[in-house]
Amino acid sequence: MKTKAYAVQNETAPLAPWTFDRRDVGPHDVQFDILFCGVCHSDLHQIKNDWFPGIFPMVPGHEIVGRVVKVGDHVKKFKVGDLAGTGCMVDSCQVCENCKRDLEQYCLEGSTQTYNSYERNGKTPTYGGYSNTIVVREEFVLHISDKLDLAATAPLLCAGITTYSPLKHWKVGKGHKLAVVGLGGLGHMGVKFGVAFGAEVTVLSTSPKKEADAKALGAHHFVVTSDPAQIKAARATFDYILDTVSAPHDMNMYLSLLKTDGVHICVGAPPEPAQVSAFSLLAGRKSLAGSGIGGIKETQEMLDFCAANNIVSDIEIIDIKDIHTAYDRMVKGDVQYRFVIDMATL
Ligand code: NAP
Ligand code: ZN
């Protein structure tokens, strides 16, 4: 079916209107019209080939919410008119050890990403949420509550699950001191979940002007990382660090802020590898870890948790024609705290 979108034709081109064909709705597919799509820093990394050579033309967007317009004959969980969402994945092998453990994001055959990826046939490119409609197999479509603001729910599909999943995995909660590094799209959700789970939360930021916002989001403390006195005072104080930084940064400095047995969890994905001294880890038996989005079951659990606890993203709604201004502001750290595209402006 004809689909309207914004795409980049190569890694130096700007996003511009483009149309393409999506597959027709198969027996196990759900088609939903996209109402809102969040803007993730991963969109920018990918259109710029920051991580690996991309598949072009590329339609970014993996924080997608909308309303179901068609379902296949065998679809059981959705009906026309339901709210629906899709995050970073649209498929996986479904049979490997990790898929069976509800960890489709770590599918041993490689999960199919929502864009900049190929369908299971290995040749049909996938196109993301900067578009007017999407067709996804039922297992990868999430139920969205009508109790929450729909636009502010979109970022939960990536920024939300990416911060919820590691905090759950490491059982971060009451009695723990959690530092969230970087107050952007992921970081502000990390603060909200950390606070909701009962942890004492500190934001470690390069932006002194974000202190009031951090506190309003529920953070208990705020540390400006460019101030040596504040860093010295924070040394060996955290049980966990949730690192959401999108650019190269000094891991050894952040590791020095962990207590003995502390864990530094990387969710940010800077293009360049980090330099980590063994001494930063062995002095204090520290762990350096990472986490990628979350499985479908956990994503639904997170969405249900957010509906029950009235948690959404703090957003700024934009017209799609202003996407490059939004990217420029995101790169400068000037994001409060997630841009969401109103797809009616496509
Ligand atoms: P974002 O909104 O741009 O936030 C990143 C924040 O990091 C900035 O607001 C800034 O916060 C801080 N920062 C930026 N450059 C920095 C530097 N050089 N040193 C220290 N701090 C810096 O980005 P996002 O959408 O949250 O994404 C963050 C990263 O996570 C990206 O790399 C993205 O690709 C990745 N990601 C990973 C997953 C996963 O599955 N693991 C999922 C989604 C996204 P302050 O102003 O507070 O310093
Ligand atoms: Zn994302």
pLDDT in tens, 113-160: 999 999 999 999 999 999 999 999 999 999 999 999 999 999 999 999
Average pLDDT over residues 39-54: 98
Examine the domain organization and report whether 15 and 152 are in the same domain.
yes
Percent of the chain topping pLDDT 70:
100
Q: How far is the CA of 221 from the centre of ligand 2 (A)?
A: 26
User: What is the predicted pLDDT for the residue at 84?
Assistant: 98
Examine the domain organization and report whether 146 and 176 are in the same domain.
no
Examine the domain organization and report whether 66 and 173 are in the same domain.
no
Average pLDDT over residues 84-106: 98
Name residues whose C-beta falls within 8 Å of residue 196's C-beta, 6 or more positions apart in sequence: 218, 305, 309, 311
pTM of the predicted protein model? 0.98
User: What is the predicted pLDDT for the residue at 7?
Assistant: 98
What's the CA gap between 140 and 37, in Å, rounded?
16
Query: Pairing state of beta strands 258-266 and 287-290?
Result: parallel
Examine the domain organization and report whether 278 and 182 are in the same domain.
yes
Residue 73: burial class (beta carbons within 10 Å; 0-12, 13-18, 19+): exposed
3-state helix, strand, coil in the chain (%, to 5): 30, 25, 45
* pLDDT band at 255; cut points 50, 70, 90: very high
Examine the domain organization and report whether 168 and 130 are in the same domain.
no
Examine the domain organization and report whether 200 and 303 are in the same domain.
no
* pLDDT band at 105; cut points 50, 70, 90: very high
Q: Where are the alpha helices (DSSP H) in the chain?
A: 41-47, 97-100, 150-153, 159-169, 185-196, 211-216, 228-234, 251-255, 278-282, 296-309, 323-331
Ligand 1 pocket mutation pick from 37, 64, 245, 313 by most atoms within 8 angstroms of CB: 245
Q: How far is the CA of 147 from the centre of ligand 2 (A)?
A: 23
Return mean pLDDT, the chain: 98
* pLDDT band at 268; cut points 50, 70, 90: very high
Examine the domain organization and report whether 303 and 245 are in the same domain.
no
The domain tally of the chain equals: 2
Query: Pairing state of beta strands 112-113 and 221-224?
Result: unpaired
User: What is the predicted pLDDT for the residue at 211?
Assistant: 98
Q: Can you give the CATH number for the domain in which 135 is found?
A: 3.90.180.10
Examine the domain organization and report whether 305 and 210 are in the same domain.
no
User: What is the predicted pLDDT for the residue at 184?
Assistant: 98
Ligand closest to 157 (CA) is 2
Average pLDDT over residues 233-248: 98
Examine the domain organization and report whether 202 and 218 are in the same domain.
yes
* pLDDT band at 298; cut points 50, 70, 90: very high
* pLDDT band at 321; cut points 50, 70, 90: very high
- For 164, the domain range is 160-290
| Distances from the Cα of 180 to the Cα of 63, 149, 217, angstroms | 21, 25, 12
* pLDDT band at 209; cut points 50, 70, 90: very high
Examine the domain organization and report whether 148 and 6 are in the same domain.
yes
* pLDDT band at 187; cut points 50, 70, 90: very high
Give the domain-ending residue among 246, 270, 290: 290
DSSP reduced 3-state for 282: helix
Among protein residues, the one with the nearest Cα to ligand 1's atom 30 is 268
Q: Can you give the CATH number for the domain in which 271 is found?
A: 3.40.50.720
Name residues whose C-beta falls within 8 Å of residue 278's C-beta, 6 or more positions apart in sequence: none
